[in-house]
Chain A
Amino acid sequence: MKSWNMPKIREWVAGKMSQSASWRVVAIGTQWLCPMCGQVGAIFKNEERLPDLVIVHLTEKCKVFLSGQTAAPYTIESLTAKKWYIEIKYHISNDPVFQQHDRSRKWYCPYCTKQTEITLADDGKIPPLLVDEIHRHVTTCYGWDHGKGSPKSMEEVTKAIAGQDRMQATVEHVKNQMQSNPAWRTKDHSGHWVCPHCRQVLRSIDVSSNILMYQTAPFQIAEHIIETCSGARQAAASTNEVEKIARLEAPKTEVEARSGISDELLESLKSQIESVRTQVGQDQDLMKNLEEARKKQLMMLPDLPKIPGYDFQVIYKPCSHVAGDLYDFVKVSEHELGILQGDVSGHGVDAALVMALSRKVFQMQAKGRSSPWDTLVTSNMEIYPDLDRKTFITTAYGVLNLQTKLLKFARAGHNPLIIHNDKRDPQILLLEPKGMAVGMDKGPRFASGLEEVEQQLLPGDMMLWYTDGVIETRGKGGAEFGIEGIIEVVNKYARMEAKVLLHMLELARTEFQVGEQEDDVTLIGIGVL
């Protein structure tokens, strides 16, 4: 048996443990991970005893150390991944909040409180294969957030499960009704659904096409029935009655609807309306010009590409008459398509002018350049001199080879590109190369900080491009919709057509929004078929 110079080893271990983070990785507060062999090297209760236990492990059990190696092959990243695996496995076995499932036995993640595709066995046991699946979900879950998130309480998880069970049952009920009862398929002249229970036209539920009616509407209708329907407990109206409601052309004016209000209030209301009318009259010329500008800007928007094997969709929603958001599709070469999204700081007329200028510059610079880095660097040099120092354009630009499906992508201060695919692991990919916004620097810092990445796209991929107006939408208490709000919708609807995904995302955003829309909103969805 080898004899060790223990004082020397003790000093060496103490040095490593004080200087190197990879020598201090501990799982569930008691299990020390050895950076030499990557195994749990010591289990301790009293931290003061840990150095002694580490020395015992190294000198008696660690095959790597005993082979004479002194450099630790395991990095802090790989050890942290092991620590997370151990901790998640421990919680699955010991923590009831990690063992919850709904009626269909789908496992619920305690971090995001969402239903997963993981089905638990009837006996409630969780075999190693499922532990791996749960680990995979958790480590890619936005609620877990790379170890920074905390699991929710049992009350929150069971509430989410009860809500999902109720939602599933209601969606099934709605689907059955829509198949069998014409009253449930009734829409008004604009394609809005009419609720047979509360007898209201619901402008947020679009059933103008079959795909919207049978794929997306049942979820919206179920939400309506559970959360807002004032007649959910009443008997449903007959088909004739619902169709009559749908045919009603003009809704009552506010004054007609409030026929019970006092004369004084009515006079006050009239006076206010008159005052607004006067103000509007004064601003009429300006409004007319802005309306013309809006029409011209909308006319200048590019057509959606119609390319076999791809599904392109866009939602473009200015917050004032004219927008500072831009997007474009540029033919870079015979087989390459440039996809551009930008967001000029601020909004309104100033931003719209910068938007028009920069779009033209990007178009000119993109032609013949396969590298997004080249296009953005040259565009920045062209645009920078024309901007004041507080105006900039966050830009995402990709060049897609339509034959090989290889996407080259660069991001100048813009939001990360989201790619979803059930066949990918993890299912959601964020492309987030570094780069500052166009117009913030005249050239050197912009070019040196801009990265370009490549991503091979696969059939089933859904790309989502979005501007700040989406994530910075304010809800109750000033909360932001955030990337979390987007990911939630992507998880639900990215398997469907791009049109459905964008529609549902914009619906979720507007439902979240409190008050007026504060920024322009642009969504681009691109499905790879």
Chain B
Amino acid sequence: MDLALREKEHVYIVEVRGRIEVSDVDSFEAYMKALRARGVTRVIIEMSQVESVVSGALGALMGLADELEAQGGRLVLLNPNVKVIAVFRRMGLDEVFRICDVEDEARRVVMS
């Protein structure tokens, strides 16, 4: 898994690439912790380059969403592929996370 960050108009977009494995959870959490320490609370996770995600890694995403919401922020997922959406659906999380297809929509949701 690779992570990259870009910022535009106070919205932080974390671009995730590759396969998300259970072994990636710790580094993902540390990365997001560092972001939150900078006061970032509105985050879009750009997932179009994510090839696959193992179910065991989704707890970290759930924890992150709860923490951001507790700080008055929001987490939105952008453009995951069909395979990744299927994992979210299997885990009963497709209706818990807001999943957007285009960045403009994701920006509107995360700022709402």
Contact = CB atoms under 8 A, between A and B. Distances in A.
A394 interface: yes
B59 A394 contact: no
Interface in A359-392: 388-392
Nearest to B52: A480
Contacts of B56: 345-346, 468, 519
Given A346-B56, A390-B63, A480-B52, A436 B22 contact: no
Interface in B22-48: 22, 25, 29
A449 B59 contact: no
A436 B95 CA distance: 10
B91 A391 contact: no
A473 to B, nearest CB: 11
Nearest to B64: A389
B55 interface: yes
Contacts of A391: 59
B91 A437 contact: yes
A436 B66 CA distance: 15
Contacts of A436: 91-93, 96
B54 A390 contact: no
A440 B95 CA distance: 13
B11 interface: no
A389 B55 contact: no
Contact of A394 (B22, B29, B55, B60): B55
B10 interface: no
Interface residues of B, number: 22
Contacts of A497: none
Given A415-B90, A436-B96, A472 B59 contact: no
A450 B29 CA distance: 28
A394 B91 contact: yes
B62 interface: yes
Interface in B48-97: 51-52, 54-56, 58-60, 62-63, 66-67, 90-93, 95-96
Interface centre among A388, A436, A441, A445 (most CB of B within 10 A): A436
Nearest to A351: B56
A350 to B, nearest CB: 11
Interface centre among A412, A415, A472, A480 (most CB of B within 10 A): A472
A308 interface: no
B98 interface: no
A45 B55 CA distance: 47
A143 interface: no
B59 A392 contact: yes
Contacts of A414: 90
Contact of A472 (B29, B54, B63, B92): B54
Given A389-B66, A391-B59, A439-B59, 8 more contacts: A390-B29, A390-B59, A412-B92, A413-B91, A434-B92, A437-B59, A440-B62, A468-B55
A128 interface: no
Interface centre among B56, B60, B63, B96 (most CB of A within 10 A): B56
A345 B59 contact: yes
A346 B56 CA distance: 6
A124 interface: no
B106 to A, nearest CB: 22
Contacts of B51: 478
B4 to A, nearest CB: 21
